[in-house]
Amino acid sequence: MESNGEKAVVSSSENGKSETETTESSSKDGSICGFDSLHHLLQESLSPPLFQEVSRLLLGLNCGKSLETIALPEPARALSSKHDFDLQAYSFRADKESLRGPRLVRVGLVQNGIALPTTAPFSDQKRAIFQKLTPIIEAAGASGVNIICLQEAWMMPFAFCTREKRWCEFAEPIDGESTEFLQEFARKYNMVIINPILERDIKHGETLWNTAVIIGNHGNIIGKHRKNHIPRVGDFNESTYYMEGNTGHPVFETAYGKIAVNICYGRHHPLNWLAFGLNGAEIVFNPSATVGELSEPMWPIEARNAAIANSYFVGSINRVGTEVFPNPFTSGDGKPQHADFGHFYGSSHFSAPDASCTPSLSRYKDGLMVSDLDLNLCRQLKDKWGFRMTARYEMYSYLLARYVKPDFEPQVISDPLLRRST
């Protein structure tokens, strides 16, 4: 793809002072100066030895080597060409152990844009997303994926910017039509599927939640987790729609490993990541919906840090595209009203406990990221770095227990000279 070259950086020098100011750095189509990902931009722009060195620093090394790509079966590749979605696959190794065999699991992440304009009848919108996802999930099945996770509220436009209540109609019970749709694939491909939906809790007064339903590889519902932390930033007016989750930090023991789900904004909360780790998660999925202007510089850092600090794998997923809504809304920041949320920048990827990570999927195309994970790597990193043993949890539990009390006093020791009058 050719660069349609929007200027990223403007430098000016006035009175000997150098100023650098960032302007619109990504193009209207969602590309980065014409490239679909940072990885491809660097690959095309640097000489092979420079690119290798930059990749070592940006993506880390897994067992001392760059991640290897996996050759996926032809039917999966054919689906990706026919339906024009990005398809990438990598393999994370672990060291050979003498008492345990490798614990290999093949995991998939799906990112997608909506399929119809937000003005279309709701039932048509949902059905069109189901149709759009079918070849992507089929490609995962054809690739032998064991666990797959979809993006946050994948079955609807991310309409929570509007504050309009009519979007609540998209909500479904945990055994509703999205779960039924995915249960077919779970049975067909013997696959665990994580299904993040807008949930309507029929038994509790039809209340709404932001929920991930965990579908077992026999098509059974293993359980659910509700988003713990609800954003109050930018146009993310999600607290208008649903409440903070009440399911704690469950880890689901599946046929393929112990998994958990940290839904979107929860990734900014290190204690949220920690809690899933304390409960024994080996893979934590982070199904998200977030836009470039708000969070893109944080995106590659937070998940990777969580994987390192908690000695587990993280699968990060973000939706793609710009969703335009019928009625303009304001953001409470004095800027003009607008009808879209901004660009959802995709860039789904895996991070590993040894600080290695995959390149990201496209910034603007639907996609499927497949990775083989050797779960032995989790314990190997625990043994190597000893974070669980050096964590001093009792010290923090003491501080937190005091902090949540209304009469908490911060532990600050002031320089006595500060208040001495001269």
Amino acid at 185: F
Q: Which of 224, 227, 258, 365 is catalytic?
A: 227
Q: 3-class SS at 1?
A: coil
Amino acid at 224: K
Site size with ligand URP, rule: CB under 6 A: 10
Can residue 295 be called a binding residue for ligand URP (CB under 6 A)? yes
Answer yes or no: are the C-beta atoms of 75 and 113 closer than 8 Å. Answer: no
**β-bridge pairing 86-92 and 68-69:** antiparallel
Can residue 312 be called a binding residue for ligand URP (CB under 6 A)? no
264 is catalytic: yes
Can residue 33 be called a binding residue for ligand URP (CB under 6 A)? no
CB atoms within 10 A of CB 411: 7
Tokens of 30: 């969602």
- Show the site string, 242-271: x = touches ligand URP by CB under 6 A, - = not: ----------------------xx------
**Among 108, 141, 231, 346, which residue sits at the site for ligand URP (rule: CB under 6 A)?**
231
Cβ 78 to ligand URP shortest distance, Å = 33
Cβ 318 to ligand URP shortest distance, Å = 9
Can residue 167 be called a binding residue for ligand URP (CB under 6 A)? no
Can residue 35 be called a binding residue for ligand URP (CB under 6 A)? no
How far is residue 107's CA from residue 105's CA, in Å, rounded to a whole number? 6
The closest of 188, 193, 185 to 222, measured between CA atoms, is: 193
CA 104 to chain centre: 22
CA 171 to chain centre: 21
* DSSP state at residue 297: T
Can residue 294 be called a binding residue for ligand URP (CB under 6 A)? yes
Cβ 331 to ligand URP shortest distance, Å = 13
**β-bridge pairing 17-22 and 9-14:** antiparallel
227 is catalytic: yes
Give the DSSP H/E element, type plus range, for residue 212. Answer: strand 207-215
How far is residue 422's CA from residue 417's CA, in Å, rounded to a whole number? 10
Nearest residue (CB) to ligand URP, 245 versus 257: 245
Nearest residue (CB) to ligand URP, 335 versus 405: 335
Cβ 363 to ligand URP shortest distance, Å = 15
Cβ 320 to ligand URP shortest distance, Å = 14
Cβ 180 to ligand URP shortest distance, Å = 25
Amino acid at 151: Q
The closest of 121, 90, 120, 94 to 106, measured between CA atoms, is: 90
**Among 85, 92, 185, 236, which residue sits at the site for ligand URP (rule: CB under 6 A)?**
236
Q: Which of 126, 138, 152, 323 is catalytic?
A: 152
Can residue 197 be called a binding residue for ligand URP (CB under 6 A)? no
* DSSP state at residue 362: P
**Among 228, 290, 356, 360, which residue sits at the site for ligand URP (rule: CB under 6 A)?**
290
Active-site residue set: 152, 227, 264
Q: Which residues form the interface with ligand URP (CB under 6 A)?
A: 152, 231, 236, 264-265, 288-290, 294-295
